[in-house]
Chains A and B, each alone.
Chain A
């Protein structure tokens, strides 16, 4: 498999100028990218750079703020059950950008993020709608469904959930509305006390988390 002898003109001599001409597309991209970088990100720290990139939900400052707060005050390995508690009226068909539990799972690590029906939660966008339905129809999380059968089903599922939560030693629960926007005031935190979820105001979260951590450390 050696090189070809150079007998006759190769069509490549006509192709190469065309290929060079076609570099205008990536060339234009490169110029545009470099200009944007110089204007918006040059010399900034990684957090500032992330904040300057539009259209990436998990770079939104409020979300990063929540992640920072959780990681600062909860010890590594703390389990948090994350669930949606409402659907934003604008979200007729909730898209992938509303999957805050996934973003939290990555950025809050090594905190352990748990979800109901983890296979659906971890699945593709096709699985996302059934995952949402599981919360609002089966678990009836917003109490929107009335009737005996809904109530029986819900009680059965929550009883099983209690077992799973205890088995995994999940102490915290975080709820959020399904929405493309992320607002700290819409996030709700709960701490598990005597088998029930007690709401914790976000401003009070740090102090409570620190005191629980200190008590655990002291073996109380």
Chain B
């Protein structure tokens, strides 16, 4: 539901981001869509960091302090917004709508983007928060921040034979910080009032992709921005993760005509306890319900692209603000989900490889600038990320870890053990029959299912694979393209997640029922779209 506090919090996040953007003093002129999207992403990263830092320092903010903070951010942001608007007025030509015959699909696509953008807001505003993770892993931390702060007995008292209940106490509280702020501004905590704010992550990433691909695609063409943005906003996984029924034909029919109509046409599925009627009794939709996956996907992917633009820019066009913005978004991502820290490591390795490749090929940008510019920029971005995430990182080690201490499990012996291990997998829904299957095969099967699940991801992953193969067929062009580091980051993140699933203490069969590994690969979906579009858009260019 959209309440006054939802609207005020949304504006505070947006204007707070503009305030930060002005402080970073960017020199690169941005399209309005990219500028506002960058500001919103900055707000979505920095404001939670600020809230967590303040809660750590002085305890729950309460309505008065929160409203004072909101007012300060709003005033500063409004001033910054008008100032940058004046600066940009003279520099940009007005946007031309795609109206020539060649690009009329661009116009249709653009209208579809607007429709899906509106639907995201409607969807988040009209559905109560109802999925396990968003409520119990994330919103609960929002309640704790709102009422009692960090590091209280609610977070810590899990070590004795009797104690408090808290799922994943060491999950970062960035999502909860947004919900707590919305609660203070409205005077009462409500996860349902905060739910529409998660639409902002999807919309900001969409506007950012649009602006960036408009800049990086063919000049004057709407093909790249419209295709990329539509692939993101129309990715089914944003809205639902399961078809109404597990049987494909029945599931797809149910999606189009309703689960009951599918039931009537195909008959009931018989499960171990009898007929399974109306399997899809609710729309699920992990991403927009308030879990950390969408925030991480938006912040990490956009941060990576911003840093990529700095690294690949000509020396005189490099904007130091891009490093600070990218670092802030990375830090914000680390506050949304623990995987944000792992993705930081992936980014560091990928940019390291990019630098080495540049040195090997004697790239122009290195000849023009310092050879150490890239490592310096990436190092600075990582430092900024750690500073942004520091309010949480400062206390995280003291908060108990329950069950999922992955770093300690990712040892050679742990991996070797998992390589030879087997787990029970249910092979029939009708008889509850299970079979022991090797863990590597379960993990590989889970990823293969996710990558090829078209009703869930549309063409995103198939297109990514095709574009990478296409790029590899023209290695020289790929070597010089920013699509290469983006694609490497996608592959690296997926490989890292596969390793983590290898050693997870979870039963994989049970875990995969909660839309894993789909929720993991979703973290780099915007980056995969970006890389695919760049590679495909370069078709027809001479190598």
**Chain A residues in the interface with B (C-beta under 8 A):** 1-13, 15-20, 22-30, 32-37, 41, 46, 49-50, 53-56, 58-59, 81, 90, 96, 101-103, 105-106, 109-110, 112-119, 121-127, 157, 160-161, 164-165, 168, 170
Smallest CB gap from B240: residue in A:
A29
Q: Are B163 and A55 in contact (CB under 8 A)?
A: no
Known: A19-B227, A25-B455, A118-B162. A7 touches B540 (CB 8 A): yes
Contact indicator per residue, chain B 249-284, by CB within 8 Å of chain A (1) or not (0) = 000000110100000000000000100001001110
Q: How far is the CB of A42 from chain B (nearest CB, A)?
A: 8
Residues on B with C-beta less than 8 A from A123 are 167, 402-403
Residues on B with C-beta less than 8 A from A34 are 122
Q: How far is the CB of B245 from chain A (nearest CB, A)?
A: 13
Compute how far the CA of A106 lies from the CA of B176 in the bound complex, rounded to whole angstroms: 13
Residues on B with C-beta less than 8 A from A157 are 161
Q: How far is the CB of B114 from chain A (nearest CB, A)?
A: 12
Smallest CB gap from B226: residue in A:
A16
Q: Are B459 and A13 in contact (CB under 8 A)?
A: no
Q: Are A23 and B160 in contact (CB under 8 A)?
A: no
Compute how far the CA of A219 lies from the CA of B435 in the bound complex, rounded to whole angstroms: 62
Smallest CB gap from A97: residue in B:
B132
Contact indicator per residue, chain B 500-511, by CB within 8 Å of chain A (1) or not (0) = 000001110010
Stretch in B47-55, B76-84, B214-222, B323-331 with 4+ CB within 8 Å of A: B214-222
Smallest CB gap from A49: residue in B:
B128
Residues on B with C-beta less than 8 A from A54 are 278, 281-282
Q: Pick from A5, A6, A22, A56 the residue with the most CB of B within 10 Å.
A: A22
Q: Judge whether B211 is part of the interface by a CB distance below 8 angstroms.
A: no
Q: Are A121 and B165 in contact (CB under 8 A)?
A: yes
Q: Pick from B162, B223, B256, B309 the residue with the most CB of A within 10 Å.
A: B162
Contact indicator per residue, chain B 161-196, by CB within 8 Å of chain A (1) or not (0) = 111111111000000000000000000000010000
Residues on B with C-beta less than 8 A from A164 are 160-163
Q: Judge whether B512 is part of the interface by a CB distance below 8 angstroms.
A: no
B window 380-405: CB within 8 A of A: 400, 402-404
Q: Are B540 and A22 in contact (CB under 8 A)?
A: no
State which of B255, B459, B541 has its C-beta within 8 Å of the C-beta of A19.
B459
Contact indicator per residue, chain B 459-483, by CB within 8 Å of chain A (1) or not (0) = 1000100000000000000000010
Q: Are B403 and A124 in contact (CB under 8 A)?
A: yes
Smallest CB gap from B113: residue in A:
A23
Compute how far the CA of A161 lies from the CA of B102 in the bound complex, rounded to whole angstroms: 75
Q: Judge whether B533 is part of the interface by a CB distance below 8 angstroms.
A: yes
Contact indicator per residue, chain B 409-427, by CB within 8 Å of chain A (1) or not (0) = 0000000000000000000
Residues on B with C-beta less than 8 A from A161 are 161-162
Q: Are A1 and B309 in contact (CB under 8 A)?
A: yes
Residues on B with C-beta less than 8 A from A102 are 136, 165, 167
Q: Are A119 and B510 in contact (CB under 8 A)?
A: no
Contact indicator per residue, chain B 40-83, by CB within 8 Å of chain A (1) or not (0) = 00000000000000000000000000000000000000000000
Known: A3-B217, A25-B458, A29-B283. A122 touches B223 (CB 8 A): no
Contact indicator per residue, chain B 518-543, by CB within 8 Å of chain A (1) or not (0) = 00000000000000010011111110
Q: Pick from A15, A33, A96 the residue with the most CB of B within 10 Å.
A: A15
B window 218-254: CB within 8 A of A: 218-221, 223-224, 226-227, 230-231, 234-236, 238-240
Q: Are A10 and B403 in contact (CB under 8 A)?
A: no
Compute how far the CA of A15 lies from the CA of B226 in the bound complex, rounded to whole angstroms: 11
Give me 11 A-to-B residue pairs in the complex whose CB atoms sit less than 8 angstroms apart, sorted by A's number.
A1-B309, A10-B537, A11-B539, A12-B223, A16-B226, A26-B239, A28-B256, A109-B140, A119-B400, A119-B402, A122-B168
Q: Judge whether B147 is part of the interface by a CB distance below 8 angstroms.
A: yes
Residues on B with C-beta less than 8 A from A20 are 105, 108-109, 112, 230
Known: A11-B539, A18-B459. A5 touches B165 (CB 8 A): no
Q: Are B227 and A16 in contact (CB under 8 A)?
A: yes
Compute how far the CA of A50 lies from the CA of B132 in the bound complex, rounded to whole angstroms: 14
Q: Judge whether B368 is part of the interface by a CB distance below 8 angstroms.
A: no
Q: Are B119 and A8 in contact (CB under 8 A)?
A: no
Residues on B with C-beta less than 8 A from A9 are 539-540
Q: Are B140 and A4 in contact (CB under 8 A)?
A: no
B window 103-132: CB within 8 A of A: 103, 105-106, 108-109, 112, 116, 119, 122-123, 126-128, 130, 132
Compute how far the CA of A15 lies from the CA of B535 in the bound complex, rounded to whole angstroms: 13
Q: Are B239 and A30 in contact (CB under 8 A)?
A: yes
Q: Judge whether B139 is part of the interface by a CB distance below 8 angstroms.
A: yes
Smallest CB gap from A56: residue in B:
B130
Residues on A with C-beta less than 8 A from B482 are 1
Q: Are A41 and B126 in contact (CB under 8 A)?
A: yes
Q: Are B219 and A4 in contact (CB under 8 A)?
A: yes
